[in-house]
Copies of this chain bind each other. A is one copy, B any other.
Amino acid sequence: MVKNIIGKNDFVESLRGKKATFLLSLSNTKTSEIEGITQAGIPGKIYLTPTLDSEFLCTGEVRSLDNIAETPKGVPTPALITRAVHLLKPYGNIELLDLGLLIPPKVSYFNIHNFEITPSMSIAEDAKIDAMAVFQKGLAFGQTFECKDDYIILSESVPSGTTTACATALALDYDTKKLFSSSFKDVPTSIRELTIESALKNINNEDDLFSRLGKVADNMLIFNAGFILGLNNKTKIILAGGTQMACVLLIVNSILKTMGGEFDTSNLALCTTKWVYEDENSDIKALLEMLDFSINAYYPEFDFSTSNHPALKLYDQGEAKEGVGAGAALVYGLINGLNNENIIKQIESFLG
């Protein structure tokens, strides 16, 4: 069952039975090395998470490490969900976008787009991103991208990405401090807030939009804003993620406001998980309602309430919420004939 966050269900219904190209955008930011800021990965090796996620999604193996990335409390990466759906109802194509990875994924035969983007620095000081260059790379990629399937699912794996997303939205003057999610259940308000406060202190009034993005955003946010604008509504696209993808939309919104352009968003939607939708520490709906354009957004009525696996139960307790396009992957499965039971069984089979 696919539920609406905002908009109507016609968009997602029109994709029922259709094939998607699954794009996974991957990036490292030094922000993730701030101790305690994220649990999306192995302590001390958080930088490996996007690399391992993409390896596991493509091949079922984590090649740059021995075990699937587990968070300290043992919450497995949402890549398990995305891979499970792929095994049961394969995406038409999986392509990887290297938007600044420290360690490139060890996979062959899959299209890995390299944009010569380097990992960004910590936003606590200054992310030091050439935001205009990254944006234009995204724009060009969108303009030239030819989808081999019926539509695109655009996902991400960026550790500490909700922190950079929150800082970005605030730097663009959206009043969103309370609306952003984190991968923690008990949101580490202090570390996050301190980091974001530090980031915002670097912004001054002379900074234009791209100058702000360069200081407090991450490569994924900036590139994908460009990608969406470059696609220019020619292909149906689902932004697969929670508050980070909402922030991509806020950036698009700010660019449109600055440039005064018209933009048709009829082929643009967002899918996230039920865990993000129901999160009490963030408000995806409120974020999307800040946009000046209309958009459809969905989440799957999927949780692990019928599973007995303790690691999966942690999702339902809010310990992990989204990533590697898990929400959109679930929606993809559900609109292609799968049900929650099939998917849970497959996920459990990974964990043994």
Mark A57-73 against chain B: 1 for CB-CB distance below 8 A, else 0.
Answer: 01111000000000000
A262 CB within 8 Å of chain B: no
Report A's interface with B, CB cutoff 8 A.
8-11, 13-14, 16-19, 58-61, 86-92, 107-110, 335-337
Contacts A19-B17, A92-B18 given: A87-B10 contact, CB under 8 Å?
no
Question: Considering the chains assembled together, what is the distance between the CA atoms of A91 and B335 in angstroms?
Answer: 11
Q: Is the CB of B110 within 8 A of A10?
A: yes
Q: Is the CB of A109 within 8 A of B17?
A: no
Residue of B nearest to A338 (CB): B337
Could you show 5 A-B contacts with beta carbons less than 8 Å apart? A8-B108, A10-B109, A13-B59, A14-B58, A17-B89
Question: Considering the chains assembled together, what is the distance between the CA atoms of A86 and B336 in angstroms?
Answer: 9
Tally of this chain's copies: 2
Question: Considering the chains assembled together, what is the distance between the CA atoms of A174 and B110 in angstroms?
Answer: 35
Question: Considering the chains assembled together, what is the distance between the CA atoms of A92 and B17 in angstroms?
Answer: 6
Question: Considering the chains assembled together, what is the distance between the CA atoms of A8 and B58 in angstroms?
Answer: 12
Q: Is the CB of A9 within 8 A of B59?
A: yes
Question: Considering the chains assembled together, what is the distance between the CA atoms of A18 and B10 in angstroms?
Answer: 24
Q: Is the CB of B10 within 8 A of A108?
A: yes
Question: Considering the chains assembled together, what is the distance between the CA atoms of A335 and B91 in angstroms?
Answer: 11
Q: Is the CB of A11 within 8 A of B87?
A: no
Q: How far is the CB of A127 from chain B (nearest CB, A)?
A: 33
Question: Considering the chains assembled together, what is the distance between the CA atoms of A16 and B22 in angstroms?
Answer: 13
In the bound complex, residues from chain B placing their C-beta under 8 Å from that of A335 are 90
In the bound complex, residues from chain B placing their C-beta under 8 Å from that of A60 are 9, 13
The 5 closest A-B pairs by CB, nearest first: A17-B90, A14-B109, A10-B108, A16-B90, A10-B109
Residue of B nearest to A85 (CB): B337
Q: Is the CB of B59 within 8 A of A89?
A: no
Q: Is the CB of B59 within 8 A of A107?
A: no
Q: Is the CB of A14 within 8 A of B110?
A: yes
Q: Is the CB of A337 within 8 A of B88?
A: yes
Residue of B nearest to A11 (CB): B109
Q: How far is the CB of A159 from chain B (nearest CB, A)?
A: 25
